[in-house]
Amino acid sequence: MRTKPTLRALAAPGFAVALCLPTGTGWAKSVEGRYLAFGAGNWSCENAVAVAEGNHPASQGRLDGFIAGYLSATNVILKNTYDIQGGQPLSAAKTQVLAFCRDNPSVVLANALAVHTQRQYPDRHSVPKD
């Protein structure tokens, strides 16, 4: 079972969104304890790393698009969050997520991003930086 006690996941068409809950209230899932991740979000971390390190331009585009969409949706949905990355570029998020994936190859990409957003939460920007 894919669970983290301090995260809640929400699936939307095209991407999954993790909502970081510092209060530790758990994941939002079906009554059966599951949720649906779309597209590259269903890839194993092992496959995501293989795509990132290989010569798969179309798949690399799907990977980059999923990460960008996930983080953008997190910015929209997560209360008091303008930039979950705290000013770091998208490439930094990809590097950090892939590092997590190398250590956790059986985790699905959507959950790897949920962990990433949880780690980024304390450093997020709540308002645009001038």
Mean pLDDT, the chain, whole residue set: 77
Q: What integer pLDDT is reported at residue 96 of this predicted model?
A: 96
Q: What integer pLDDT is reported at residue 9 of this predicted model?
A: 36
Decide if 71 is inside a domain: yes
Task: Write the pLDDT tens digit of every residue in 9-29.
Answer: 333 323 333 333 333 333 445
Decide if 128 is inside a domain: no
Which residue range forms the structural domain that includes residue 67? 7-28+35-123
Q: What integer pLDDT is reported at residue 14 of this predicted model?
A: 31
Task: Write the pLDDT tens digit of every residue in 97-114.
Answer: 999 999 999 999 999 999
* Rounded average pLDDT over 76-80: 90
Rounded CA separation 66/58 (Å): 12
Q: What integer pLDDT is reported at residue 3 of this predicted model?
A: 39
Decide if 15 is inside a domain: yes
pLDDT band for 45, please (50, 70, 90 cuts): very high
Number of domains in the chain: 1
Q: What integer pLDDT is reported at residue 37 of this predicted model?
A: 76
Decide if 129 is inside a domain: no
Q: What integer pLDDT is reported at residue 30 of this predicted model?
A: 61
Of 38-42, 64-68, 89-93, the range with the lowest mean pLDDT is: 38-42
Decide if 2 is inside a domain: no
Decide if 1 is inside a domain: no
Decide if 112 is inside a domain: yes
Decide if 130 is inside a domain: no
In degrees and rounded to multiples of 5, residue 8 shows phi and psi of: -130, 130
String of DSSP letters for 76-123: HHSTT-SBTTTT--HHHHHHHHHHHHHH-TTSBHHHHHHHHHHHHGGG
